[in-house]
Amino acid sequence: MEHFDVIVIGGGSAGYAAARTVRETHQRVAIVDNSDELGGLCILRGCMPSKTLIYSAEVLHLAQNGRLFGLDIPSAKVDMPALHQRKTRMIDDFKSYRQEQLASDRFTLFRELGAFKDPKTLKLSTSGKEITADAFIIATGSVVNFPNIPGLELPGIWTSDDVLDLSELPESVIVLGGGVVACELAQFLHRAGSKVTQVQRSPHILKEESPEAAEVVMKAFREEGMDLHTGTKLGKIEKTDTGFSVEFMEGAESMRVEARHLVNALGRRPAIDNMNLKAAGVTLKPNGQIQVNEHQQTSNPKIYAAGDVCGPFEIVHIAIMQGETAARHATGRPADPVNLDTRTSVVFTDPQVASAGIPVEEAKARGMELIEAEYPFDDHGKSILMEAKHGYVKAWAERSSGRIVGAQCVGKDAGELIHALAVGISMGATAKDLLKVHWYHPTLSEIWSYPLEDIADGVS
């Protein structure tokens, strides 16, 4: 039986980071991955293809609104085959680099599904081979969830994978859900030229974000002409002669919408099917993700987990950090737990929603006494001249010290802008510290100086 120092199950962002980190000190590292194509979700069907398409749609949107900037652009429209080709070219490049890394002789790569036979043995699905290790790192990611909604199992319903691989423009699409995937892809489809209807259960989209932030995005979506329904309860989905219909309640009103295509963007669940985790002594959280401690150890201390399979955030840089922590701990090295108090997140809608640090409500619930300050983009020189007036920046700090504990930016390029505050939060900076920065004029970034000044003035 082949024995390894560490076996990593799953070769996506978390798994590759873990394997690379183990390999710094140990020779015998196996990666087990059963995908048809290596590379992981982020590169193949997640972050990179979606952001490639979303950026093109943003350029198109600007061109179509050329009049706002004093430009006469007679017509601008999407060329779906060209868009698809561009995306494919980019992803081919990113994935071939990752595939080379995974297939290099630094690792032993098994292209099979791994399932535990017992806490120390992994059985491979195709060859039937059994392999053992001193430690395991589970990084198998997530799969699209299909909640129990009548008709959701019908053939032809799309997931994000299908939207990201479109080479023709769909005439009309219903997008179910109001999470990050639903919002990013619904706006992309709308801007590309499809007639989009989005149906969300909660009263506001992006329920992980503040209602104030979601409100800005909802307003922008509606102003752009998207048909957005919130506060709904889904009924049944049916096939029609031309596509699909969805029945739902919106408040007390019974609604029915139709379109040629339907996208299930109702969330993802951990990819743990057929892994026999019970035999390995690995327990799950109530939401189905693998339970881990601060060093990413599962209920079996020799088995770790990292990435979407354990959460709590399905975000690629967190998956990488968790993979590195797991690998360092598994190989007996000092391993800093991932500090979620300095986390960042970005939703790539337009306007974008970006956050850093501890969310304001969470900070208050922990008993922190805060000073909060915000400033709107519609009163800021650079955003006004860029016609980017949706949204605001907001920061909050400990009242006693002025140390910034969190920040949010909703607006154009918020995902870039948030990093100025993310650096400060990660380094424990106060508002006064951040006011030493030479905030260049006129930039979008200099808008941060206004709430920072208010906070610095208010420190008790």
Ligand X SMILES: Cc1cc2nc3c(=O)[nH]c(=O)nc-3n(C[C@H](O)[C@H](O)[C@H](O)COP(=O)(O)OP(=O)(O)OC[C@H]3O[C@@H](n4cnc5c(N)ncnc54)[C@H](O)[C@@H]3O)c2cc1C
Ligand Y SMILES: NC(=O)c1ccc[n+]([C@@H]2O[C@H](COP(=O)([O-])OP(=O)(O)OC[C@H]3O[C@@H](n4cnc5c(N)ncnc54)[C@H](O)[C@@H]3O)[C@@H](O)[C@H]2O)c1
Question: Binding site membership for NAD(+): which residues?
Answer: 177-184, 267
Interface with ligand X includes 179 (CB under 6 A)? no
Q: Which does 394 bind (CB under 5 to 8 A by kind): ligand X, ligand Y, none?
A: none
| 163 alpha carbon, distance to own chain's centre | 16
CA dihedral 316, 317, 321, 324 (to 10 degrees): 70
Interface with ligand X includes 325 (CB under 6 A)? no
Residue 400 tokens read as 């006693």
In the shown chain, the binding pattern of residues 372 to 411 toward ligand X, with x for contact by CB under 6 A and - for none, equals ----------------------------------------
Q: Which does 364 bind (CB under 5 to 8 A by kind): ligand Y, ligand X, none?
A: none
Q: Which is nearer to ligand X, 51 or 106 (CB)?
A: 51
| 3 state SS of 66 | helix
The residues near 242 (Cβ < 8 Å, ≥ 6 apart) are: 258, 260
The residues near 260 (Cβ < 8 Å, ≥ 6 apart) are: 170, 171, 172, 173, 242, 243, 244
Name the segment binding ligand X (CB under 6 A); options: 8-16, 197-205, 329-337, 427-435: 8-16
How far, in Å, CA of 391 to CA of 393, rounded?
7
CB of 306 to ligand X, least distance (A): 7
In contact, 354 and 417? CB cutoff 8 Å: yes
CB of 132 to ligand X, least distance (A): 16
Residues placed in the known binding site: 51, 114, 140-142, 177-184, 267, 308
Interface with ligand X includes 177 (CB under 6 A)? no
How many beta carbons lie within 10 A of that of residue 460, not counting itself?
8
Please report where in the chains the tokens 């179509």 appear, as a residue: 64
Interface with ligand X includes 9 (CB under 6 A)? yes
Residue from 21, 33, 375, 383 in contact with ligand X (CB under 6 A): 33
Binding residues for ligand X, rule CB under 6 A, total 36
Q: Of the residues 3, 261, 380, 441, which is catalytic? A: 441
Residue from 140, 296, 408, 430 in contact with ligand X (CB under 6 A): 140
Q: Which does 13 bind (CB under 5 to 8 A by kind): ligand Y, ligand X, none?
A: ligand X
Q: Which is nearer to ligand Y, 10 or 114 (CB)?
A: 10
* Residue 84 bears catalytic tag: no
Residue from 41, 176, 292, 410 in contact with ligand X (CB under 6 A): 41
Interface with ligand X includes 57 (CB under 6 A)? no
In contact, 16 and 9? CB cutoff 8 Å: no
| 3 state SS of 401 | coil
How far, in Å, CA of 282 to CA of 299, rounded?
5
In the shown chain, the binding pattern of residues 120 to 139 toward ligand X, with x for contact by CB under 6 A and - for none, equals -------------------x
Residue from 40, 351, 411, 424 in contact with ligand X (CB under 6 A): 40
Contacts by 144-149, CB closer than 8 A, 24 or more apart: 144/264, 144/267, 144/268, 145/266, 145/267, 145/268, 145/269, 146/264, 146/266, 147/266, 147/267, 149/234, 149/236, 149/237, 149/266
In the shown chain, the binding pattern of residues 290 to 309 toward ligand X, with x for contact by CB under 6 A and - for none, equals -----------------xxx
The residues near 359 (Cβ < 8 Å, ≥ 6 apart) are: 210, 406
CB of 293 to ligand X, least distance (A): 18
* DSSP string covering 306-373: -GGGT-S---HHHHHHHHHHHHHHHTTS--PPP-GGG-EEEE-SSSEEEEEES-HHHHHHTT--EEEE
Residue from 30, 275, 354, 368 in contact with ligand X (CB under 6 A): 275
From residue 227, give the alpha-carbon distance in Å to each of 36, 131, 186, 320, 393: 37, 53, 10, 37, 27
Contact residues for ligand Y, defined by CB under 6 A:
147, 149, 177-182, 184, 200-202, 234, 265-268, 313-315, 346-348
Catalytic residue annotation: 441
Q: Footprint of ligand X on this chain (CB under 6 A)?
A: 9-15, 32-35, 40-42, 46-47, 50-51, 113-114, 139-141, 160, 181, 271, 275, 307-309, 314-317, 319, 348
